[in-house]
Structure 1
């Protein structure tokens, strides 16, 4: 009997897409995550510089989110060594396991597939590219900078984004990622930092082209809060416009946008220093981008942070793909 389950591909990175992958993995779909390999901060950044390897952190987050292992096993996989552990300080067990698998296999995709089996992942996880990428940004003031963490720390408005490999050449996407995208019924972008988690995948030329040509329903999960510099003053339509501009097509069909007002003083801006303000809605400007917004209270508050409800987002995505 032919498998009638829809093919859903989620593209992004950071801590954003794992928040919905955890719930999507339990839906009756064929789920694939395509994950950025341009991160250069934290434990990932240290291992990347020290060992010259593909960044691990975003892939590890997705492995945890899509794993069906018991919580005790996942807690060990996510265990982070304490600050006074010298060489191992700040590193997670998962990052070190991925580093070991990469050294054994000599190939990041093979390493991820090995860990998918060990972690009993429900679905597929592919790095966007089989090598580490560098993100470069040109800001609206004309200056340019390279590096994911440097771009975030600059707190400047971004005009254009692009990626390159270690030699400065135009990268090629992983063939398995392209295949998943071309066979998708629904492609989900985000949630996550627009310019440093979502867009680095889409500006890989052949990957962005595949998304446009796939014929899939493209859904953007809009952030609830703006990020200093990167998206300061952005409305929901500005986020979609930036995606369309950098890919070169008006390709986003739907946007899931939180319309729940964030209570005053409920966000800890000292702890989450990259945040600025709640994203404002602009349905008329959305029409100009040929994008249909879906406004609902997709937000939950936790530990002084405003995050999307993975369950609500998953439910809405299932409605859209089943009505496609």
Structure 2
């Protein structure tokens, strides 16, 4: 089945009352992405008692994750680590240990998070990352599921209008030029080098059985699309009966989305999927103060994403504009509570129809 085209409208919900969900099952939510925004959303969904699964990119090649990926030929563990902590019911001290990162003067351990080393070690002990995650599910008292988008590390490829191709997430971001589209491949020296990437175990099932599938928040080309362009993930997004929700970034991002409007973000996702599958787009409606745009804390974020009403209408999604802004000293973020509240409103609306 495919999603029916829907007329773009500004949706206004009545004041939402979480108690409305007491007579219904709490939503089964599958979130697809990576980066720093994903754990924030996951912990909020957990607090709202959603049945949550995170599908996490395996194309990260920077920092501790990139180093372990290269030396051990394993999937990068950093985003997985952060998602596990976000869904964990373990005591805070155990979470702190899992997240502890060695100091710069610690030689070969410099920059490595203990959790990254534990995930890599358990994957070696148990034979693969999925058996490692089953054990961590118990050890960390995980309320939900964390699934790598693919069972092996992938290389992100950016394709440009001039026909050139640049590989590797960190290299792509450093190019600072408009990307036409992205693809993924297996690493050249791995046993799957000549095969097309496929979704990891249970990923398609998580998308097909969800009430809501959420894309984002996160970097468009390096956190969200590396998952979407895996063929059976793309097809699952077309076929799923779930409502597909896209969380639009608040700020444009250096090396990825300069000059992008909210409609541009949706258009790029739909282009990579091959159909207009996004049912709802959550968009921040609050102006970001000038001093945050000029902040030296977040030089990779440029200006606030502009609003393009006509462009959004062409993407055939229901547009929800709301105050989603959370301003911190370190930068501009989505407000966790407000974001989850809007997601629960979408679910409530869908079960009442």
What TM-score, normalized to structure 2? 0.88
Query: Deviation string for 1:269-293 (max 9, x for gaps)?
Result: 4332221110011122111100121
Higher mean C-alpha displacement, 77-86 vs 295-304 = 295-304
- SS of equivalent residue, structure 2 residue 291: coil
Distance 1:19 1:28 in 2: 15
Match of 1:265 among 262, 279, 291: 291
- Residue number in structure 2 paired with 1:312: 338
- SS of equivalent residue, structure 1 residue 242: helix
Matched, 1:76 2:97: yes
- Residue number in structure 1 paired with 2:28: 7
After TM superposition, list the pairs within 5 Å mapping 1:102-181 onto structure 2.
Answer: 102-166=123-187, 167-181=193-207
1:267 Cα shift? Answer: 3.9
Does the aligned pair in 2 maintain the 1:134–1:147 contact within 8 Å? Answer: yes
- SS of equivalent residue, structure 1 residue 135: strand
Distance 1:274 1:9 in 2: 28
150 and 182 in structure 1: CA distance in 2 versus 1, 3 angstrom threshold: same
- Residue number in structure 1 paired with 2:316: 290
What TM-score, normalized to structure 1? 0.96
1:186 Cα shift? Answer: 0.4
Query: Deviation string for 1:229-276 (max 9, x for gaps)?
Result: 311111001000000001101001111111111111224543322211
Distance 1:111 1:140 in 2: 41
1:221 Cα shift? Answer: 0.6
Matched, 1:242 2:263: no
1:105 Cα shift? Answer: 1.3
- SS of equivalent residue, structure 2 residue 37: coil
Match of 2:281 among 233, 255, 266: 255
Match of 1:192 among 218, 221, 235: 218
Does the aligned pair in 2 maintain the 1:108–1:131 contact within 8 Å? Answer: no
Does the aligned pair in 2 maintain the 1:81–1:88 contact within 8 Å? Answer: yes
1:74 Cα shift? Answer: 1.1
268 and 106 in structure 1: CA distance in 2 versus 1, 3 angstrom threshold: farther
- Residue number in structure 2 paired with 1:98: 119
Does the aligned pair in 1 maintain the 2:293–2:303 contact within 8 Å? Answer: no
Does the aligned pair in 1 maintain the 2:151–2:201 contact within 8 Å? Answer: no
Distance 2:56 2:194 in 1: 20
Distance 1:283 1:292 in 2: 11
Does the aligned pair in 2 maintain the 1:269–1:275 contact within 8 Å? Answer: no
CA RMSD of aligned residues (A): 1.5
- Residue number in structure 1 paired with 2:235: 209
Does the aligned pair in 1 maintain the 2:57–2:148 contact within 8 Å? Answer: yes
In structure 2, the gaps of 5 or more residues are 1-22, 188-192
1:146 Cα shift? Answer: 0.7
- Residue number in structure 2 paired with 1:182: 208
In structure 1, the gaps of 5 or more residues are none
User: How many residues were matched structurally?
Assistant: 323
Look at both structures and tell me which one has the larger radius of gyration over its CA atoms: 2
Distance 1:303 1:100 in 2: 35
